[in-house]
């Protein structure tokens, strides 16, 4: 897979991806990640990338010219163009899984105040939000999405662990609490059942604790999906 990120802050996007598992995945040739400064596509002498809103309103928007030029240079036949924006569809684990099948992801990082809508209409395949809060720019959001996708690519996690076992995989439950050594830490004991060697009992305990944790922290995951609208 190849990933290109176009942003006003290329270092912000890249820093989290140049550590640990994602760094290793790049070294192993599983993914190639490039981060580009949007200003390098700005043609005027001040390298201007944003401007005031037409019709009035607070703040600045990303201008169309540099982003259109960047996409023209970077897009290939198989590219999926993603805009990171708080106005996007919420990013879920199932989206991370779906994006692993793409050959080329091109991220356009929104300005927190937004982008000219012609960019969305003409260039963008998907608008994605990583949560209901507003970041100062979309570079961190792009890095978050890349991390979630790249760790699912075959070979990225090594053999230690299968992504199928974790939270948000099927079924839609959070993971059960987990413990390591020592088995007694200041009188706080690891639950007996986990030391019992009874695989059936351990699985049952994990299912019950996972359900309990999901009920407490994410009851929305246990609700039935909303009925689809009738035509």
Binding site for ligand ADE (CB under 6 A): 84-86, 110, 112, 129-131, 133-135, 138, 141
Please work out, in degrees rounded to the nearest 5, the angle formed at the alpha carbon of residue 179 by the alpha carbons of 204 and 151.
90
Quick one: 25 or 135, whose CB is closer to ligand ADE?
A: 135
The least distance separating ligand ADE from the CB of residue 167, rounded to whole angstroms, comes to 20
Of 35 and 129, nearer to ligand ADE (C-beta) is 129
Whether the CB-CB separation of 74 and 50 falls below 8 Å is answered with no
Give whichever of 124 and 176 is closer to ligand ADE, judged by the CB atom.
124
CB atoms within 10 A of CB 177: 13
- In the complex, the smallest distance separating the C-beta of residue 131 from ligand ADE, rounded to whole angstroms, is 5
- Cα–Cα distance, 109 to 124 (Å, whole number): 11
Q: How is residue 125 written in tokens?
A: 């395949």
The Cα 31–Cα 152 span in angstroms is: 11
**Residue 220 Cβ, how far from ligand ADE at the closest point, in Å?**
18
Q: Which is nearer to ligand ADE, 129 or 214 (CB)?
A: 129
Which residue's C-beta sits nearest to ligand ADE? 141
Q: Is 153 exposed, middle or buried (0-12, 13-18, 19+ CB in 10 A)?
A: middle
Which residue, 81 or 173, is less far from ligand ADE as judged by CB?
A: 81
- Rounded to the nearest 5°, which phi and psi values hold at 121? -65, -40
Q: How far is the CB of 86 from ligand ADE (least distance, A)?
A: 4
Kindly state the smallest distance separating residue 223's Cβ from ligand ADE, in Å. Answer: 23
CB 156 within 8 A of CB 21: yes
Token pair in block for residue 40: 């390098």
The Cα–Cα gap between 175 and 31 comes to 28
Smallest distance, ligand ADE to C-beta of residue 193, A: 40
> What is the closest distance, in whole angstroms, from the C-beta atom of residue 225 to ligand ADE in the complex?
23
181 Cβ partners below 8 Å, 6+ apart? none
Q: Which CB, 84 or 214, lies closer to ligand ADE?
A: 84
Closest C-alpha among 54, 36, 168, 162 to residue 106:
36
- Between residues 62 and 150, which has the closer beta carbon with respect to ligand ADE? 62
């Amino acid at each position: 897979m190849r990933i290109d990120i176009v942003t006003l802050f290329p270092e912000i996007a890249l820093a989290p991806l140049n550590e640990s598992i994602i760094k290793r995945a790049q070294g192993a040739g599983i993914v190639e990640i490039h981060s580009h400064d949007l200003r390098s596509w700005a043609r005027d002498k001040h390298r201007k990338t944003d401007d005031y809103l037409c019709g009035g309103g607070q703040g600045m928007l990303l201008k169309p010219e540099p982003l259109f030029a960047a996409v023209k240079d970077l897009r290939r036949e198989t590219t999926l163009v993603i805009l990171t924006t708080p106005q996007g569809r919420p990013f879920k684990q199932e989206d991370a899984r779906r994006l692993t099948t793409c050959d080329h992801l091109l991220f356009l990082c929104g300005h927190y105040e937004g982008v000219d809508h012609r960019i969305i209409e003409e260039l963008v395949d998907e608008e994605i939000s990583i949560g209901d809060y507003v970041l100062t720019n979309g570079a961190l959001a792009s890095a978050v999405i890349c991390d979630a996708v790249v760790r699912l690519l075959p070979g990225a996690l090594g053999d230690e662990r299968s992504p199928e076992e974790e939270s948000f995989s099927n079924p839609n439950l959070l993971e059960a609490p987990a413990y390591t050594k020592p088995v007694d830490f200041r009188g706080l004991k690891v639950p007996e059942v986990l030391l019992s060697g009874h695989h059936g009992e351990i699985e049952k305990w994990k299912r019950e604790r996972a359900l309990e944790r999901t009920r407490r922290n994410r009851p929305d995951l246990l609700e039935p999906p909303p009925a689809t609208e009738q035509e």
